[in-house]
Amino acid sequence: MNRSQAPIGLFDSGVGGLTVAAAIKKVMPNESMIYFGDTAHLPYGDKSKETIVQYSLSIAEFLLNKGCKILLIACNSASSNAFKEVKAFVGERAEVLNVIDPVIEFVGKDTSHSNIGVIGTKATINSGSYHDGIRKLRPDTEVSSLATPLFVPMIEEGFIFDDISNAIIRAYLSRSELKDIDSLILGCTHYPIIMNQINRFFNFKIDVLDSALIVAEKLKLILSEKDLLSNTINARHQFFVSDHTDYFEIIAKMFFGEKIELQRTMI
């Protein structure tokens, strides 16, 4: 197989990374993808670094065995805790990208914001990846971080656009940590699903960054630089999960934007 025609491999702790897959489909419709959602172990946000690394390496091996030309860690918790380990494990066999660095790079070039908020899982926020990365590029910028651990299980269980989700969103976003922000980074690939509710909470007065689209654009640039962009018009996608329920099929459609078939496989 021509290397450029090989699939993009991406993984997340659940189906949240499908928001990134949807952005990739929009930006690069000719690219085939193989997605792995580690639904048997979600959420990653309350796991130790060692456990997240262990899960991530197993999934990376699975995707490499599928012949993927690039691996995208489509999970903020895994990106902040296991990127270096995955990159070392993969070596020269494929390119590796995470979902944090492209956003930091994007924000670092955008001087229109001076008080940036970041929300994510405990694992992501405690790692300090966004805070330290942004401050390194723009030392004069205020970065306020807040762990919002209930968002992932809330979304995975389908509590969206209802009184329960609105109450949880309001409880977190009204915290003093986010009081004076002028922009907000959604530091979890699940969070774009509730982006409209977050915008409404802030009365559309701050910029809520679509990190999925930022990551997809960066991925396209890397593939172009490596001469790995696909020119096929017959893109094929496969979706694997480590545990399966009928409900995951339903919520996966909402994340990806179209009906998909999830295949259960153990790693």
Q: Which residues are catalytic?
A: 75, 188
Q: Give the separation between CA 100 and CA 79, rounded to whole angstroms.
A: 7
Q: Give the separation between CA 94 and CA 87, rounded to whole angstroms.
A: 9
C-beta pairs of 59-64 under 8 Å, 24+ apart in sequence:
59/11, 59/267, 60/11, 60/86, 60/89, 60/90, 61/89, 61/267, 62/36, 62/240, 62/265, 62/267, 63/9, 63/10, 63/11, 63/34, 63/36, 64/9, 64/90, 64/93, 64/94
Count CB neighbours of 266 within 10 A.
9
Q: How many residues does the chain have?
A: 267
Q: List residues bridging with 72 in a β-sheet.
A: 10, 97
Q: Give the separation between CA 179 and CA 263, rounded to whole angstroms.
A: 43
Nearest of 267, 234, 263, 266 to residue 249 by alpha carbon = 263
Segment holding 113, helix H or strand E: none
